[in-house]
Copies of this chain bind each other. A is one copy, B any other.
Amino acid sequence: MAYELYYWPTIQGRGEFVRLALEEAGADYVDVARGPKGIQAMMRIMENAEHPPFAPPFLKDGETIVSQTAGILLYLGARHDLAPKDPVGGLWTHQIQLTIADLVAEAHDTHHPVSVNLYYDDQKEEALRRAEDFRENRIPKFLGWFEDILARNPSGEKHLVGDRLTYADLSLFQTVEGLSYAFPKATERILKEFPRVAALHEAVAARPRIKAYCESPRRIPFNEDGIFRRYPELDG
């Protein structure tokens, strides 16, 4: 039976980390909310499920509902060989994903530092300050941590964990994609300091299934409703 992915149908957002894992795995899945009455179906589950997701994305695998992006990837990684089978390696991959989730939340808050319930224009002054800190301090700190992990990997610097692709590699690819969209000047400048991260991004982009996916209509273009938004005044 195909997986059912539930996420907002017009943005990459957090759902994209799940889509990339499903695509790389060649898994059979339906992106439910992009079909007719999909959003109603998504809302119905959130309102009625015994294990209600706090927010999309969530994955339905038969009767099992899994929410939280990192939780979904923990679930999929074990089933589709996108994480090491040994418990320590599996948990390490998950820890990296949790840190990527923290970075993604901070990227979101650059344009919504006050409230998700207000428009960007109603928190633009705060956004200018927060984005400056994010560019100057936070992006380098996070990317530097990924660079360290790659440099210290005893199996080589091509992957974050071991000598094979994991969902953490896919998620770091997506994070670099998003940062490059939202903060093109800053990200280009910062990536020069972190060649292993830049190389991993390129290597994942060239993987046949990821490349085919990114060129397909299944890949929603970045836009200003998602997590990573291009507001030129926030870049620099």
Contacts and interface: CB of A to CB of B under 8 A. Distances in A.
Contacts of A91: 66, 71, 74-75
B92 A51 contact: yes
Interface string A51-90: 1111000000000101110110011000000000000100
B113 A130 contact: yes
A117 B129 contact: no
Contacts of A154: 50
A88 B64 contact: yes
Interface in A108-144: 109, 113-115, 117-118, 123, 126, 129-130, 133, 137, 142
A25 interface: no
A149 B65 CA distance: 14
Interface string A91-103: 1101100110010
Contact of A98 (B64, B70, B118): B70
A3 interface: no
B54 A99 contact: yes
Given A91-B75, A94-B71, A105-B105, A52 B148 contact: yes
A70 B101 CA distance: 12
A194 interface: no
A218 interface: no
Could you tell me the dominant secondary structure of chain A's interface residues?
helix
B114 A95 contact: no
A113 B126 contact: yes
A50 B137 contact: no
A145 interface: yes
A152 interface: yes
Contact of A95 (B66, B109, B149): B66
B98 A145 contact: no
Contacts of A130: 113-115
A94 B137 CA distance: 30
- Which residue, of A74, A91, A149, A154, has the highest number of chain B Cβ atoms within 10 A? A91
Interface string A143-181: 001001100111000000000000000000000000000
Contacts of A92: 51
